[in-house]
Chain A
Amino acid sequence: MAPITMIEGIRQAMFEEMDRDPAVVAIGEDIGVYGGAFKATEGLLAKFGRERVIETPISETAIVGAACGMGFLGLRPVAEMQFIDFIACCFNQVTNFVAKSHYLWGAPVPMVIRGPSGGGVHGGPFHSANPEMYFVHTPGLKVIYPSTPSDAKGLLKSAIRDNNPVLFFEHKFLYRRIKEEVPEGDHLVPIGKAVVRREGDDLTIISYAAMAHTAMEAAEQLAREGIEAEVIDLRTLLPLDRETILTSLKKTNKLLIVHEDTRTGGIAGEIAAIVCEGAFEDLDGPITRVTALDTPVPYAPTLEERFLPNTEKVVAAARELSKY
């Protein structure tokens, strides 16, 4: 099979799931004739028609609300946020309606909200956000943030089949920059399972999404200096795969967490707490984080570069940590 981009993986997942099950419908802005702002839904309308590819007004609350209502009747809607930043507009629907229905009155909401997220493309403060932690903090949701074409495809397919509301973040920097061969057939990747991308004994680097690639680059560079890093790609942020984290930490005894999200309240803090609760005695150094700054995502390339973590910052932090 020819290697494909991440956006193509996402598109294939949509096609395959809609083909498999007529309960799957797509809803969002400009997703039909135009094929979506990033063309993730290109061709869907021609194949599945207006009843299943629902082009809406610019109304995020209505998109998510309607998708929730469709879910109550047993459909499996996939709602697109044109940019994930706009999910702030429907925060209430997501956190109060969608997330709480099953706990409160036993109503499952089988829906997916997906959209392009993340920085590094000079999108400015309103088109570069990583708002995943608002939702990781919301019981009832699942949160996925893949880093490769095959994970994106396999996880999106799993998300559509899941009986719970799933938020699916797609890093737009990765949409077309990497290509990968995706397994043939009905390729599913389980939700809630992290993956060890590289094995090593000296320290563990945990990351996800675009930063998973930064972590890998840093690990290669560190290897040339004789430091062997184990790299974990979380893939799913909620539920978090504690087992993979703790197993690795018990082997390497040192932990570096890298994320593109801002520092305060980022998932690094949560992972640090999990490690303190579950493997405190195994720690041989301070839990270290490399994250974005606690600022909005700035626009100018020089500013954004300062804002974002990068390979050098990760390597520098890893060197410090490995001195313990």
Chain B
Amino acid sequence: MSNPLTREQHLDLYYFMQLNRQLEERMVRLFRQNKIVGGLYSSLGQEGVSVGTCYALEKKDWIAPMIRNIGALLVKGVPPRDIFTQHMAKYTSPTQGKDGTSHFGDLKVRHIVSPISMLGDLIPVMTGVAMAGRYLGQKIVALTWIGDGGSSTGAFHEGLNLAAQQRAPFVLIVENNQWAYSTPVSRQVPVKNLADRAVAYGIRSWIVDGNDVAAVYNTTKEAVDECRAGRGPALIEVKTMRMRGHAQHDPAEYVPKQMFEYWRARDPIALYEKYLTENKIWDAKTKAEIDARIERELDVEQKFAEESPMPPAELAEEGVYCEGCHAIEATWQRAKAEVSPPASSFEPGWEVKDYGAFAEVEAIRKETAAPAVFAPAGNAGGNGAKVSKPIVKSGGKPQPKPPARGVEPEVPEVPRVPFGRGPKDKSVREAQNPRDRHAHQNPRDKRGRR
């Protein structure tokens, strides 16, 4: 369970959100000056998601950012210059100009996997990272994000299902910013909450207000702790709003004006500033100091990027293959003997509980002499999906409810936190975990944040 945030952590969260925002505002100006190569995708207004989720991870944990997760990179310790230079295709960028945006990684120090543009493909890859980490005894958690739109890809399904089947220490943040390019969520998926899909994978899920950074942090922390304890994977749907067009070229005229207004009033940074002030976690002086520090840092970083050269043309020909440039060595944190013969050897075979649904089918057959049809046990989606009744053949007796054993999913309970009341909400937490009654509330915290 997560602890209340310390003052330091509160200020950290503010710092990273504001750093994220100021960095991206500067990039918008650079874009207008034609200094950005290609398109510019912004996460302005979504800073609470990237920062709140990534802040819940430990240093050794792995992330794979999507294009709107600049804030997560900053929390992971990536210097802003890397983001400036990537967008400007400079030789000094992490990819030396071979790719742009957030498309870069760091296997050795910060544990970041570079994204590719094809949505959904990070999910299987990060599942593999999580599995490898567990295999090597590293006790890591792997986390990645997917948009509301990207959640419709086949890779999403394959990856999440494998993660679930493997019980991998993997957290998937479904960043629902209401839009996939020009298409609203309601036209992408028929379910109300994207988190409802977790039921189908037999994994835990949460829904949280993405513009409440502390709630995002707390929820992610809980999910990360669960995964680290071997009860993964986990899915968190974060509700937020894309406050700009898909990229700079897109004026987003398809978004209803009132929708922008609605969400503008819920700006994650403004909300958090208010919270910090009301709860006397900081004062005007502290805020001014942090803001000034951000400006100072970004001045230096931007200057570095602007003054950096473009890559030399010959570089285009280099690096397709690893020709001895990398020594590949896994970091073992358990004895290799544990996974080597003879310790690894055993008598393989499958155990099949109750021979599938055979027992249930037999029971129904005996009662009705009708073909046995019964509702899937997990069919209680948060979208109010109705559990279908066993089909009764005309003239036949109503069928008995099938016994639960054998048809229950292995993790029957998929706890759900109602939207807008993160796990900070006392009633929700008590209902879920009575033991946790006193653990977390900050008495000064009127809004229930920790």
Interface residues of A (CB under 8 A from B): 19, 22-23, 25, 32-33, 45-49, 51-52, 54, 56-57, 59-77, 92-93, 96-97, 100-108, 110, 139-140, 142, 163-164
Q: Give A216 to B430 CA distance when docked, in angstroms.
A: 77
Which residues of B (85-140) have their CB < 8 Å from a CB of A? 94-95, 98-99, 103-105, 107, 113-114, 116-118, 121, 123-133, 135-136, 138
**What is the chain A residue whose CB lies nearest that of B106?**
A105
Of the candidates A57, A70, A77, the one whose C-beta lies within 8 Å of that of B161 is A57
| Chain A residues, CB < 8 A from B319 | 102-103, 106
Residues of B participating in the A interface, judged by any CB pair closer than 8 Å: 94-95, 98-99, 103-105, 107, 113-114, 116-118, 121, 123-133, 135-136, 138, 142, 154-155, 158-159, 161-162, 165-166, 319-322, 324-326, 328-331, 336, 339-341, 344-350
Give Cα distance in the complex from A257 to B161, angstroms: 45
Assess whether B326 is in contact with A104, with CB atoms less than 8 Å apart. Answer: no
For the complex formed, measure the closest distance between the CB of B226 and the CB atoms of chain A, giving whole angstroms.
20
Contacts of B142 in A (CB 8 A): 69
* Residues from chain B with Cβ under 8 Å of A62 in the complex: 124, 127, 155, 158-159, 161-162
Pairwise interchain contact A33-B125, C-beta atoms closer than 8 A: no
What's the minimum C-beta distance from B203 to chain A, rounded to whole angstroms?
A: 14
Establish whether residues B133 and A97, one from each chain, have CB atoms under 8 Å apart when the complex forms: no
Establish whether residues A46 and B125, one from each chain, have CB atoms under 8 Å apart when the complex forms.
no
A93 touches B121 (CB 8 A): yes
Taken together as a complex, chains A and B put the C-alpha atoms of A238 and B103 apart, in Å, by 27
The reply to whether B127 and A92 contact each other, CB–CB distance below 8 Å, is no
Known contacts A33-B348, A56-B162: does B341 contact A164 (CB below 8 Å)? no
- Check if B339 sits within 8 Å of A51, measured CB to CB: yes
Cα A90 to Cα B431 with chains together (Å)? 43
A71 to B125, CA, bound (A): 10
| In-complex Cβ contact of A56 among B125, B165, B345 (8 A) | B165
Give the residue name and chain of the A residue nearest to B350 (CB). Answer: A33
Query: What residues of A have a CB within 8 angstroms of the CB of B131 in the complex?
Result: 54, 66, 69-70
Q: What residues of A have a CB within 8 angstroms of the CB of B135 in the complex? A: 25, 51-52, 70, 75
Q: Are B125 and A97 in contact (CB under 8 A)?
A: yes
Residue with the greatest number of chain A CB neighbours at <10 A, chosen from B116, B142, B322: B322
Contacts of B155 in A (CB 8 A): 61-62, 65, 92-93
CA gap between A101 and B325 in the complex, in Å: 14
A74 touches B98 (CB 8 A): no
Question: Quick check: A69 and B129 within 8 Å, CB to CB?
Answer: yes
Pairs across A and B, CB under 8 Å, 22 listed = A32-B348, A48-B339, A49-B346, A52-B135, A56-B162, A57-B158, A61-B154, A61-B158, A62-B124, A62-B159, A62-B161, A65-B121, A65-B123, A65-B124, A66-B124, A68-B124, A69-B124, A97-B116, A102-B321, A106-B326, A139-B320, A163-B322
* A-B contacts besides A74-B132, A74-B330, A104-B99, 20 pairs, CB < 8 Å: A46-B348, A47-B344, A52-B344, A60-B158, A62-B127, A63-B162, A68-B124, A69-B113, A69-B126, A69-B131, A74-B329, A76-B328, A92-B118, A92-B155, A97-B125, A102-B321, A103-B319, A104-B114, A105-B114, A107-B113
